[in-house]
Amino acid sequence: MVQRIGPEGFTLAAAGAEVGLSASTLVQRFGSKRALLLAADRWGVERWVGGMDETPSGGPALDRLIAGLVHGVDSETTAEEMANSVSLLQIALADSEFHESTRDGAVRLRAKIVERLREATANEELRPGIDIDALAELVEITYHGAMISWAIHRDGPLVTSLRARFAQLLQPYRV
């Protein structure tokens, strides 16, 4: 919901209408709009990181890496929704409690990327001698950067664009 309407348009009344509860019920449960927004942000972080574990096992590790990164992205995402996500990211960068959740998610995501890249190395999907930690950082940077680039250029569906950017990044490292 926050991605759809943005943090500025996010109200307890709007959230209540979305889930069929009154604003007062949400106040009783969360205490404030900020607390509800933080809970929504934490849910989003779990969806973001959890996508890495939602892909089926088996198959090439690099394919599962890309599938995991793309899993949490809505295939119908619009550029306006991406702008709303960036607005929420601004809050996460400025507010220490939001930042803690976002940073924790980023650290866990990077660890999962490293895990998949090590698996790809063990499966001989990657050339020998690659600095896995450095490549994991590039994968994460590509993930974030590709979303912003997509919102600017609007070149087809976001999921398709992400897959293409990951394929482009990983191609020189593949066996």
pLDDT at 163: 97
Measured CA to CA in angstroms, residue 8 lies from 2, 44, 62, 120 at distances of 9, 17, 38, 42
Question: d(Cα 147, Cα 54) in Å, to the nearest integer?
Answer: 21
Q: Could you tell me which residues are beta bridge partners of residue 126?
A: 174
pLDDT at 22: 83
pLDDT per residue over 36-50, tens digit each?
888 888 988 898 898
pLDDT at 1: 62
Going along the chain from its start, the domains and CATH numbers come out as 41-173 (1.10.357.10)
Q: Which residues contact 68 (CB under 8 A, 6 or more apart)?
A: 51, 52, 53, 54, 55, 112, 116
Structure token pair of residue 71: 């899993």
Instruction: Write out residues in the chain with pLDDT < 70, as ranges.
Output: 1-2
Supply the pTM of this predicted model. Answer: 0.86
Which residue carries 């993930």 as its tokens?
A: 143
